[in-house]
Structure 1
């Protein structure tokens, strides 16, 4: 085989991943095949996205335990900054999906163009605010003097480059709304490779590079995501994949911005609620040793990897719900949601069973500190039996968002994380002051708190209860009342 023949074969195989609108019709025919086709590239894209963080976690774990603890504080803050502005990208994705389902391509392109403009603008503002206030925020969370310098340096670099990170997430959302999840996956792959290659050079100071430690990991990430954003914008301007953005439609339209906010603000509240809960959990975790903080950071990173199938189903069903409501097919949208919930429950339950047995080996990949490995494995083993319930929560959340009920999805997230998880973790991880008249047996029982195990318990309890709430809420059917042509629910262009 010649080199030219080999290249042609690779191109043909990659091209086979793409489906035309007729081949990937989300509004008619079977449910499982198009939903899985839509969702599988999202799994790969999210795995690659997590690879940014995992690469940082791996290399910094080899650098020092203090560096690992520093990014344990830094990652939730990044999540918060992105979540504050991500509502606009969710709004854009939903609108593109609904207009695509209703066969209104010009309105879909206008929605995409306006979303890109305002989302990047919002990220510039958030990045500027984050740069100046990250240190104070980290102190508020309880970061120790040992951890604070590294976490602050990492977050300040990320804040300066937040628009590049955020811009690529917008690209992914808009392409997904149009039904193209393969293109973002391919772009992400290339930039992850760049990040993984850069990390050790900038962290350890290999070759001509200075030793930057924690800050080096941030520089590598921002550089790589900047490349991804540039490629994504070029693809959308060209318009031969997924959705197209037009420079003439990118002139800021404040009236349209208000319409975007109707969907975007609740979606931001959902993401922000998740981010704040992780940061608030750090406030609880920060009261324990550096070992517990590092173990918590590794555990959260592994969770983000294991939950990829559920998040992919969440995003896939969001698009299917939006397109089917746009096409006037709510019953098909409901069927897609129920299938996604069942499928995600089974897949994550299997992954949970594997995690229980593999936990020590998995954690040891990210840290060679025996105490961190033991603590991190314990965290995973407490939560793993409830992984399947996360699949149910995320599937129905995607359905709410796709129907335009972004406030419902936000309320569900806040209930799960703020109303259930945090109080349970707080109470269970601290001794309870029980009056002596309860008797010595009860006093001894409650005075001996679960310590860090109480935090792990909070995760498990909230996963199970939230799944029941999500299913009951969806079965009420109130999401069916969303009218994709109603300006109160969607930001339809007034052109």
Structure 2
């Protein structure tokens, strides 16, 4: 049985590399916005609008990734490495099929989705150009994500981090060459940024697959057995609740966008910039979420539910402490943070209001994200969905009430986002601490 220091070391070994990975993503996105910002405010707003749809697409990866990682971690805790490798293959094949379905379905829907957000002119065109190429690259994007999650499920977060850093470096180098046409290359603008991303993902995917095989986490042979329909069904059963709640979360933002743009393009550009700033605490949350998911799943697989609960409480304390500094920065120095990305006075003013409001409630975001990962480790993914979905949907009428009926404008929208985040964080922590998840026997049911 692991003692407190051993549990803390395991959590740190997963959380810190994942946080580093996500900080690198923030740094890359900072560089990306810097280059795209030279193309104008409308381009930045268009990419911001496109990000709402890419979130929706990324959320669909939970349909296969959530079950894959839970099975691997629990089998790893049970010391059944052969089953871990089989699950990895099954998850990759199912993820590839999912990506192809999404590609075929989404391509003709892109214009409709952008029209639904009431985008016009260059904002609409920039979003479409970016999303069209992004959608064509979905197989590589989704498989790159899933292979990274497979490594983390084994507890090897460093593998995922190193390969991500290579991919981001390639992307960052290519960006200005393809966006502005350096060294005689054609200047492709937004399209160039998307092409650079897809190329970097393909290289990163090839590297990850090679290292997974070399590390013994994945086998080259036996892929015909990867069409394991009973286990696929179990993966989807675990994956559909977080997928559904994330899809609703992602769909709410495009609906809110149509309301936000009624106040002009500055609030939308401010939201895009602030989301990149908020990416720092958000990705800290994701690091502890990954740690909670992996460590809790491994303890459950080893038949140690009490250790799983101890790991959860450690993560809860850690994420609370980790978010204090970002929260204070958002509340007291929002202007300098936003000015790092853009100097438009209107955008900075709206962005300052956003950061001050959400900064007060940032800790609850951490509780929500980390605890959702903890539930994922148990295999019981339904409770987070039952909490997140109604409160996320409530953002639309609440934003209309605060922003329109009470006349708070965009501040009413930001407050609606923050209040619902607070309620989600409180409710999901309370549910997990009740401990009913300890009755589940996920891998035993398939053995």
What range describes the TM-score normalised by the shorter chain of this pair? over 0.9
In the alignment, what sits opposite 2:339?
A: 364
Deviation at 1:237, TM superposition (A): 2.4
- Who is 1:248 aligned against? 222
Q: Distance in 2 between matches of 1:97 and 1:416?
A: 30
Give the Cα separation in 2 of the matches to 1:470 and 1:253: 33
Q: 2:142 aligns with which of 163, 166, 171?
A: 166
Q: How far does residue 68 in structure 1 lie from its aligned partner after superposition?
A: 0.2
Shift of residue 274, structure 1, vs aligned partner = 2.6
Q: Secondary structure at the match of 1:207?
A: helix
Deviations 1:250-304 (A, max 9, x none): 5423333222211122232233233223333323323220111111111122222
Q: Is contact 1:389–1:464 with CA below 8 Å preserved after alignment?
A: yes
- CA 1:458/1:308 → structure 2, altered by over 3 Å: closer, same or farther? same
SS class of match (2:175): helix
Partner of 1:339: 314
Measure how far apart 1:26 and its partner are.
7.2
Please name the residue that 1:277 is paired with. Answer: 252
1:50-449 → structure 2 map (5 Å cutoff): 50-240=26-216, 243-249=217-223, 251-419=226-394, 421-430=395-404, 432=405, 446=406, 449=407
How far did residue 179 of structure 1 move?
0.6
For 1:461, the equivalent position in structure 2 comes to: 419
Runs of 4+ deviating beyond 4 Å: 25-29
Q: Matched residues in 2 for 1:37 and 1:378: separation?
A: 36
- Listed one character per residue, the Cα deviations across residues 362-411 of structure 1 (whole Å, up to 9, x for unaligned) are 21222232211221122111111211111111222111111001122222
Where structure 1 has 5 or more consecutive residues not aligned to the other structure, the ranges are 1-24, 433-445
Relative to the length of structure 2, the TM-score reads 0.95
Q: Is the 8 A contact 1:88 1:268 kept in 2?
A: no
**Larger CA Rg, structure 1 vs 2:** 1
**Partner deviation per Cα, 1:198-230 (whole Å, 9 max, x = no partner):** 111211222212121111111111111111111
Higher helix share: 2
Q: What does residue 435 of structure 1 align with?
A: none
Within the alignment, does 1:37 sit opposite 2:25 as a pair?
Answer: no
Aligned length: 446
Contact 1:355 1:381 in 2 (8 A): yes
Structure 1 pair 118–415 and aligned structure 2 pair: CA distance change class (3 A): same
1:21 aligned partner? none
- Secondary structure of 1:286's counterpart equals helix
Report the Cα distance in structure 2 between the residues aligned to 1:347 and 1:256, rounded to whole angstroms: 37
User: If the length of structure 1 is used for normalisation, what is the TM-score?
Assistant: 0.86
